[in-house]
Amino acid sequence: MFKFVSFGAMAVSLLLLAAPASAQEQTGFAPAVETSIQSVLPRMIAWRRDFHQHPELSYEEVRTARIVAAHLRRLRLEVRTGVAQTGVVGVLRGGRPGPVIALRADMDALPVTEEGDLPFRSRARGAYNGQDVGIMHACGHDTHVAILMAAAEVLAARREEIAGTIIFVFQPSEEGAPPGQLGGARRMLAENVFGDLRPEAMFGLHAWPGDSGTIIMIPGPFMAGSDRIDITVTGSQTHGAQPHAGIDPIVVSSQIINALQTIPSRQMDAVRSPVIVTIGMIQGGVRYNIIPQTVLMQGTVRYLNPQTREDLYARIRRTVTETAATSGATAEVTISENAIPTVNPPELTERARAAAARALGQGNVRGGYPVMPAEDFAYFQQAVPGVFFFYGVNAPGVSTEQAAPNHNPRFFVHEPAMETGLRAMLAIALDRVGAQP
């Protein structure tokens, strides 16, 4: 168990420290901190553009990690590399005693071919699942890394005034590990990411289609659990002109896909146990006039209520196998855990919201509803009380409905929005390790 310690009554943070009222109202930061923020902004954008132009897939973040580690060493942090293969951890020990906190950014890109027309667009290519693919930061991880690098610089400049220790965690492989491997968060934890330190709290952020200048932070369930389904349907191969002489696994697969949709719509409580079942890949057959022997399918399951997970998967297995059996086929189902639900502790979240509101303005710190994408930051939350939040990245005048979603080849980040992410992260950190009087 980790004990929460309140420093609000006894510590005066760098946030608001010695700033005149007008400066406080404008920025929420002491003048020296504000100066550091303004100084680092151009380089934060340059780092982001460089990472965007040179994206790397999960556990291949060699170049990114090298740049991050070099930056942290220039700031005179204690640096460990090779944590979870390509992960980087930097430790900033303040000049005054205080709590230990951790800040996290994920580094990996996606097998997506970019379609935007940015001058720094990605043209990188690589191998994924045996296929030649384009590679793109289609989920904003390039901005996460640049923001945390900028935060490290601002905080390191105030090292002597920091009351505590800050661990900067640059994580590989958030987007999913290769088959048979652990994802980045779980692997970092297994490899003792925090060393001999024990953080009392951890914070992470994510780019999200929303109004620039705002963040979204809610207590309780925030993002879904996500698991992978692999289904192999086996029939009996035959001539396309003689389907009666075999068992068609393609037709059976289509029946399975339809039947799976009745689980969220007819078998699970839509309010207390919202669920999504998606089949995203189907492979079967090699020739137009041959009914194949097997069909392979892969998909994802999303859920918000951990208590219903086992019941959900029992229903999936039963639906798949019994639907196949009605046609004389067989089906094997494998479900692999990818991420558990991201749940923000209410008390910790409210304190983080208050700190962010002081820096950004109350109206720019918004609530909302849980969403069904998943984040392996949730595994850090199992080890350390943690809060995860979104920062809006839409260009002015672009609504959430108009914006390309994460993982889309036209996903776009309005770069001035990154300053909001930086300010939010700094405010939350300084609220816990700000200078004492």
What is the residue-wise DSSP string for 349-416? HHHHHHHHHHHH-GGGEE----BS---THHHHHHHS-EEEEEEE-PPTT--TTTSPPTTSTT----TT
Residues 349, 354: Cα–Cα separation, whole Å: 9
Residues 42, 52: Cα–Cα separation, whole Å: 15
In the block, residue with structure tokens 């918000």: 304
Tokens of 110: 């996606």
Catalytic, 227? Answer no
* Measured distance between the N- and C-terminal CA atoms of the chain, rounded to whole angstroms: 30
- Rounded to the nearest 10°, the torsion over CA 225, 3, 171, 368 is 50
The total of other beta-carbon atoms located within 10 Å of residue 420's CB is 23
* Strand arrangement, sheet containing 201-208: 78-83, 87-93, 163-171, 96-106, 201-208, 386-392, 215-216, 365-366
Helix intervals (H) in 332-393? 346-360, 377-383
Residues 166, 102: Cα–Cα separation, whole Å: 6
Residue 260, classified by CB atoms within 10 Å of its CB into exposed (0-12), middle (13-18) or buried (19+), is: buried
What is the residue-wise DSSP string for 292-329? -SEEEEEEEEEES-GGGHHHHHHHHHHHHHHHHHTTT-
Best CA proximity match to 144, nearest among 243, 68, 211, 246: 68
Please, are residues 317 and 309 in contact by the beta-carbon 8 Å criterion? no
Please, are residues 121 and 220 in contact by the beta-carbon 8 Å criterion? no
Catalytic-role residue among 108, 248, 375, 419: 108
Catalytic, 108? Answer yes
Q: Which amino acid is at 417?
A: A
Q: Please give the helix or strand (H or E) that residue 224 lies within, else none.
A: none
In the block, residue with structure tokens 């749940």: 343
Residues 266, 233: Cα–Cα separation, whole Å: 24
Q: Please give the helix or strand (H or E) that residue 40 lies within, else none.
A: helix 31-53
Catalytic-role residue among 106, 174, 211, 419: 174
Q: Which amino acid is at 215?
A: I
Residues 389, 338: Cα–Cα separation, whole Å: 20
> What are the catalytic residues?
108, 174
